[in-house]
Amino acid sequence: TSSGVFLLQMGWGDLGAFGEPSKETPNLDQMAAEGMLFLDFYTANPLCSPSRAALLTGRLPVRNGFYTTNGHARNAYTPQEIVGGIPDSELLLPELLKKAGYTNKIIGKWHLGHRPQFHPLRHGFDEWFGSPNCHFGPYDGTERPNIPVYRDWDMAGRYYEDFKIDLKTGEANLTQLYLQEALDFISKQQASQQPFFLYWAIDATHAPVYASKQFLGTSQRGLYGDAVREIDDSVGKILKHLQQLGISENTFVFFTSDNGAALISAPKQGGSNGPFLCGKETTFEGGMREPAIAWWPGHIPAGGVSHQLGSVMDLFSTSLSLAGLQPPSDRQIDGIDLLPVILQGKLIDRPIFYYRGNELMAVRAGLYKAHYWTWSNSWEEHSKGIDFCPGQSVAGVTTHTQEEHTHLPLLFHLGRDPGEKYPL
Answer for which of 164, 268, 346, 384 binds a second copy (CB under 8 A) is 268
Shortest spacing between CB 291 and a second copy, in angstroms: 10
The span from the CA of 64 to the CA of 91, in Å, is: 9
Instruction: Identify whether the C-beta of residue 371 lies closer than 8 Å to the C-beta of residue 394.
Output: no
Question: Measured from the CB atom, is 189 or 219 closer to a second copy?
Answer: 219
- Residue 286 touching a second copy (CB under 8 A): no
Choices 76-84, 113-121, 127-135, 216-224; region in contact with a second copy by CB under 8 A: 216-224
Contacts (CB under 8 A) with a second copy, residues 48-107? none
- Residue 418 touching a second copy (CB under 8 A): yes
- Residue 243 touching a second copy (CB under 8 A): no
Residue 283 identity (one-letter amino acid): T
- DSSP 8-state code for residue 181: H
Residues belonging to the active site: 48, 111
The span from the CA of 371 to the CA of 397, in Å, is: 9
CA distances 293 to 47, 145, 422, Å, are 20, 37, 29
Choices 165-173, 323-331, 338-346, 386-394; region in contact with a second copy by CB under 8 A: 386-394
- Residue 4 touching a second copy (CB under 8 A): no
Choices 107-115, 222-230, 377-385, 400-408; region in contact with a second copy by CB under 8 A: 222-230
Answer for which of 58, 148, 225, 357 binds a second copy (CB under 8 A) is 225
The span from the CA of 67 to the CA of 47, in Å, is: 11
From 30, 27, 29, 42, select the one nearest 310 (Cα to Cα): 42
**Sequential DSSP letters for 147-174:** PEEEETTEEEEEBTTTB--BTTTTB--H
- Residue 305 touching a second copy (CB under 8 A): yes
- Residue 304 touching a second copy (CB under 8 A): no
- Residue 28 touching a second copy (CB under 8 A): no
From 304, 246, 265, select the one nearest 390 (Cα to Cα): 265
Shortest spacing between CB 135 and a second copy, in angstroms: 22
Classify 357 as helix, strand or coil: coil
Shortest spacing between CB 83 and a second copy, in angstroms: 39
Instruction: Identify whether the C-beta of residue 199 lies closer than 8 Å to the C-beta of residue 104.
Output: yes
Inter-axis angle of helices 26-34 and 223-244, to 10 degrees?
40
- Residue 275 touching a second copy (CB under 8 A): yes
Residues that bind a second copy (CB under 8 A): 12-13, 16, 18-23, 33, 37, 39, 219-222, 224-225, 266-268, 272, 274-277, 305, 307, 367, 390-394, 413-419, 421-422
